[in-house]
Amino acid sequence: MKTYLVYCHPDRDSFVAAARDRALAGLRGAGHEVRVSDLYAEGFRPELSAWERTHHLDPPATKPEIAEPADNLRWCDTLVFVYPTWWSGQPAMLKGWFDRVWVAGVAYELPPGANRITPLLRNIRRLVVITTHGSSKLINAAQGEGGKRVVSRSLRVLCSRRARTDWIALYGVDRSSVKRREKYLQRVERRMRSLR
């Protein structure tokens, strides 16, 4: 499998970084070909500029700063996101990555005269989210699980019609024990090793 892992956390020593490392160990241990984007380490600029908004339907070739992640999206069949859930959703850095990279000509096209977009990332058959939540599963459900909906309802529709999503979450991370955290890291590695 060709897997593109997108990691988003500002602290290189975070628990989320440990989850990323275990995910990579599982993927590579299973023989997957892996490409990685570390949004903070790469200095990704998340804000959508006025020019980008005005030219959002222009060809991706006019936006050279997104060429590498766009190429990675077109290349992979599995897309893995590793990030903390903050304010019920993706961190601003990752949300900005969606805004700037999942654009016309990369993730979709809007044919002239059409009122519906055509998905372009049909090569992606699996989306995996590895995330932590400070609050419980019950609180997240009551809040509507906004981050989960972005992946399962917005991103997934731009991928293969049969794309599957996996949600590997640790709820209540702020109050979790060392044992529970280690068990989660083991689950992350095991799930990545078993991806088919």
Q: Give the tens place of pLDDT for each residue, 127-156.
A: 999 999 888 777 777 776 878 899 999 999
Contact 85, 131 (CB under 8 A): yes
pTM: 0.94
Rg (the chain; Cα; Å) = 17
Residues 160, 123: Cα–Cα separation, whole Å:
6
What's the domain count of the chain?
1
How far does CA 134 lie from the centroid of its chain? 19
pLDDT (tens digit per residue) in 24-55: 999 999 999 999 999 999 999 999 999 999 99
CATH code at position 173: 3.40.50.360
Residues of the domain holding 89 = 2-193
Q: Of 8, 160, 24, 3, which is closest to residue 98 (Cα–Cα)? A: 8
Residue 51, class by beta-carbon neighbours within 10 Å (0-12 exposed, 13-18 middle, 19+ buried)?
exposed
